[in-house]
Structure 1
Amino acid sequence: MDKHKIKVQDFLARVALFNSMGAEELSRIALGTTEVRVERGGQIFQRGDACVGFHQVIYGQVKLSFTSVSGVEKVIELIGPGQSFGEALMFMGSPYIVSAQATEDTLLLHVSKPVIYREIHHDAEFACKMLAGLSQRMHSLMCDMESYALRTGTQRVVAYLLKELPETDATHITLPVTKAVLASRLNLTPEHFSRILAELSAQQLISFKGRKINILNTEALRNHAGY
């Protein structure tokens, strides 16, 4: 077996969807898997392109978005290591409804549709894992909709900051994307997002410079968001 396939198998073995598979099963998946390396800012696919498999992020980050007729970009999701995207459209046989762009140097695996279908027919546990992943994605999108409808802009920003803290007692955050991209992800205009950060800073809840944010009072920030 060539080194390329061994390397792909090693990557596959780290993915939750495939981590219970044996060497023989991973070999079958590897035959239909392609490494995709994208530099920061590189396009992975455009809205309307055919979806013939799904992507799994090994490292880096991918922005899923679409652009309105007026040219305004709306960021739907930011996909990081261990996360996947494209499964639902793959099963539906539909083209991509969003565009995907790497926000940093990224390595993905693209697993082809025929391989996935073959494993689903072969292994009921694998099919259940696929369903679980799709259900988790749907739940996340429903939570986003609830947040947009029921939370203020400030509450959405605070919730994001608290979620991004790397540890319970951590106080420093480095935003993974530009403020404009993050604002779109939180369904805010860049101006509104900047104004919220300034207000939180004026209340001595945070301090910030560029993408670096320091949480000055975590408990007060939670209370401020109504947690």
Structure 2
Amino acid sequence: MTRALKLSNAHQAMLGDALIASSLDRQERDALLSCAVAVRYEPQDVLFREDGNARYFYCVLSGYVRLYRGSEDREADIRICEPGDSFGECLVLVGDRYNYSAQAMEHAILARFDLGQVKRLLDEQPRVGRAIARSLSQHLLSTMDCLARDRMQTSQQRVAHYLLTHCTNEGARASLRLPFQKSLLARKLGLAPEALSRAFSALRTSGVTVSGRAIAIEDVRALRQV
């Protein structure tokens, strides 16, 4: 069972840096954060379901949240939200029902914003509305980039792109540790788990070795060629 908690100072500081609030001055940011509480979720908890009445939008403080559509028989992942990511804020401007489902993928803490309070706030703080529109614009651009990669890149190239944009360079070599299970990485990249495994196997020839969540890249230049 979820329980609402007052936002801690650390949570407020993190939200202040999140895209949805980073362009606001202190008074505007405080007004927006006054509409939120912190909520803890267990792994696999469903936050809301597609077509349900919308009461809240969210920003991830810790953990990961999966956005998806479909039924238990057939589901399609839309997005994996990481700390600092917000979702559902479009409902402040239009709509009153969720158009996808959301599920916590591990222990997670989220800032839960009351839609009714935020809607009323827009009359007093119009720049909050512009900040929400800015966040939605960035979501749109990210979605377009994701669609382009899905259509233009092979599974190997998607995995290579992720590794190169998240690794720590050590000269010609690099390394990283996945912050989540490989099954979640597959969802994030729009791949079936077996397709991710095949991609990692194929990337061995480019010097990529995988041990659990630890990934070593022997030759960054070779991986860029992929």
Q: TM-score, normalised by structure 2?
A: 0.82
- Which of residues 39, 43, 48 in structure 1 aligns to 2:46? 43
> What runs of 5+ residues in structure 2 fail to find an aligned partner?
none
Contact 2:69 2:76 (C-alpha < 8 Å) held by counterparts: yes
Q: After the TM superposition, which residues 1-227 of structure 1 pair with which residues of structure 2 at under 5 Å, given as runs?
A: 4=6, 7=9, 12-19=15-22, 20-22=24-26, 25=28, 28-67=31-70, 71-165=73-167, 167-169=168-170, 171-201=174-204, 203-224=205-226
Task: Give per-residue Cα distances to partners, 1:144-195, cap 9 Å, x unaligned.
Answer: 1111111122111111111222x44472222233333322332322222211
**Aligned AA for 1:138?**
L
User: Bigger CA drift: 29-38 or 132-141?
Assistant: 29-38
Contact 1:17 1:130 (C-alpha < 8 Å) held by counterparts: yes
Q: Percent identity?
A: 28
Contact 2:42 2:104 (C-alpha < 8 Å) held by counterparts: yes
- The aligned length equals 218
Q: TM-score, normalised by structure 1?
A: 0.82
CA distance in 1, matches of 2:147, 2:71: 19
Contact 1:206 1:215 (C-alpha < 8 Å) held by counterparts: yes
User: How far did 1:27 drift?
Assistant: 5.2
CA distance in 1, matches of 2:31, 2:123: 13
Contact 1:75 1:181 (C-alpha < 8 Å) held by counterparts: no
Q: Alignment RMSD, CA only? A: 2.6
User: How far did 1:59 drift?
Assistant: 1.7
Contact 2:186 2:196 (C-alpha < 8 Å) held by counterparts: yes
Distance 1:10 1:206, change over 3 A: closer
**Partner SS state of residue 93, structure 2:** helix
Distance 1:156 1:26, change over 3 A: closer
**Aligned AA for 2:166?**
E
CA distance in 2, matches of 1:11, 1:179: 26
CA distance in 2, matches of 1:194, 1:5: 40
**Partner SS state of residue 21, structure 2:** coil
Task: Give per-residue Cα distances to partners, 1:45-102, cap 9 Å, x unaligned.
Answer: 2222222231011122111123457x24332211111110001244322422222122
User: Bigger CA drift: 41-50 or 150-159?
Assistant: 41-50
Task: Give per-residue Cα distances to partners, 1:106-149, cap 9 Å, x unaligned.
Answer: 11111112332233322343222211110000111111111111
> What runs of 5+ residues in structure 1 fail to find an aligned partner?
none
CA distance in 1, matches of 2:225, 2:75: 32
**Partner SS state of residue 112, structure 2:** strand
